[in-house]
Amino acid sequence: MSLLLAKDIVAGYGAAEQILKGASIHVEAGEIVTIIGPNGAGKSTLLKVIAGLVPAREGAILLGDDDVTRFGAVDRTRSGISFVPQERNVFGNLTIAENLEISAYRDSGEASKRIEDLYERYPMLAGKRRDLARTLSGGQRQILAMAMGLMTAPRLLLLDEPTAGLSPRAADELFDAIIALNEGGLPILMVEQHAVEALAVSTRGYVLVSGKDSAEGPGPQLAADPEIRRLFLGG
């Protein structure tokens, strides 16, 4: 049984607009899975559907044994899915400590211990705990956003373009942080614009085209595929 199975997902934003047209993916325990594809293929929409921010018009989403298709975002979070959006992914007017604390809103009894663990893992956050989140740099903000995603002790972490807008060095550091999390046993499903780097560290990858999954394979193998490189990876 897969940790996550999203099957034949049809979804969109407007009444008539369909972004996803039958996309299917799965994530197994311990995997890093990366979704790549051209702009407008529906990569971020698929993550939002899995997170419960955009409803699925058709299809099913199973988290382990649980059918979470009809759950809203709050209940998806309770079920163990944690989504880190690409933009506006921290509460800018709250301090770093408050951002972390509020991220465990449903599980506040464990918040203090988890915050201390995260301060140990990411010392930058500890040093800036009383600063407002809006004062952080792009890379620091992504680290905070990811740390907030961990505050619910998720079964699955969804990352939407975590390195978007970051310098190459900050992006490398973030990839290191993602690998470290996965090595700790956390499955990760991400959409990433730095596709070569992302596929290189991924267990598997999907290519999403026009709202449907068109190819699947081990990450490094997809990254090395000449046709995929030509179409999506800039050569």
Partner 1 sequence: MSILLQALLNGVMNGALIAVPAIGFTAIFAVLRYPNFAIAAYATIGAFAAWWVNVHFGAGILPALLVAFAIAGCIGVGAEETALKQLRGAGALTVAIGSIALNTVLENVVRLFFGNDLRGYDLPLVPDWRFMGLRVGPQQLQSLAFAVVIMAAVFAFLRYTRFGKAMRAVADNPDLARLKGIEPAHVAMMTIFLGAGLAGVGGVLIGLDASIDPLLGFRVLLTVFAAAVLGGLGSIPGAVVGALAIGIAEECALLVVPATYRSAVGFAAILLVLTVRPRGFFGERAN
96 touches partner 1 by CB under 8 A: no
Alpha-carbon span 92 to 215, nearest angstrom = 38
DSSP label at residue 90: S
Given candidates 13, 40, 66, 108, which one binds partner 1 under the rule CB under 8 A?
Answer: 108
* Cα→Cα distances 117→112, 151, 153, 186, Å: 9, 10, 12, 15
Residues 86, 89, 140, 182: which binds partner 1 (CB under 8 A)?
89
Which value, to the nearest 10 degrees, does the dihedral of the CA atoms of residues 152, 89, 46, 71 take? 40
Cβ at position 99, least distance to partner 1 in Å: 8
Rounded to 5 degrees, φ, ψ at 62 are -115, 130
Q: Is 85 in the site for partner 1 (CB under 8 A)?
A: yes
Residues 6+ apart with CB under 8 A from 37: 43, 206, 207, 208, 209, 232
Q: Contact between 92 and partner 1 (CB under 8 A)?
A: yes
Closest by CA to 193, choosing from 43, 26, 1, is 43
Among the residue ranges 105-113, 164-172, 187-195, 201-209, the one whose residues contact partner 1 (CB under 8 A): 105-113
* Least distance between partner 1 and beta carbon 102 (Å): 5
Amino acid sitting at position 33: V
Is 22 strand, coil or helix?
A: strand
- Helices 138-150 and 111-121 cross at an angle (nearest 10°) of 140
Residues within window 24-53 making contact with partner 1, judged by CB under 8 A: 51-53
* CB nearer to partner 1: pick between 78 and 230: 78
Interface mask toward partner 1 for 138-177; x: CB under 8 A:
----------x--xx-------------------------
Q: Which helix (H) or strand (E) holds 160?
A: strand 156-160
Instruction: Give the residue, chosen from 28, 98, 117, 173, that forms a contact with partner 1 under the rule CB under 8 A.
Output: 98
How near is the Cβ of 142 to partner 1 at its closest, in Å? Answer: 14
Residues 62-81, mask of contacts with partner 1 (x by CB under 8 A): ----------xxx--xx---
Token digits for 127?
A: 């040093």
Name which of 74 and 180 has its Cβ closer to partner 1. 74
Q: Is 55 in the site for partner 1 (CB under 8 A)?
A: no
How many other C-beta atoms can be found within 10 angstroms of the C-beta atom of residue 169?
Answer: 9
- Interface ranges with partner 1 (CB under 8 A): 51-53, 72-74, 77-78, 82-83, 85, 88-94, 98, 101-108, 148, 151-152
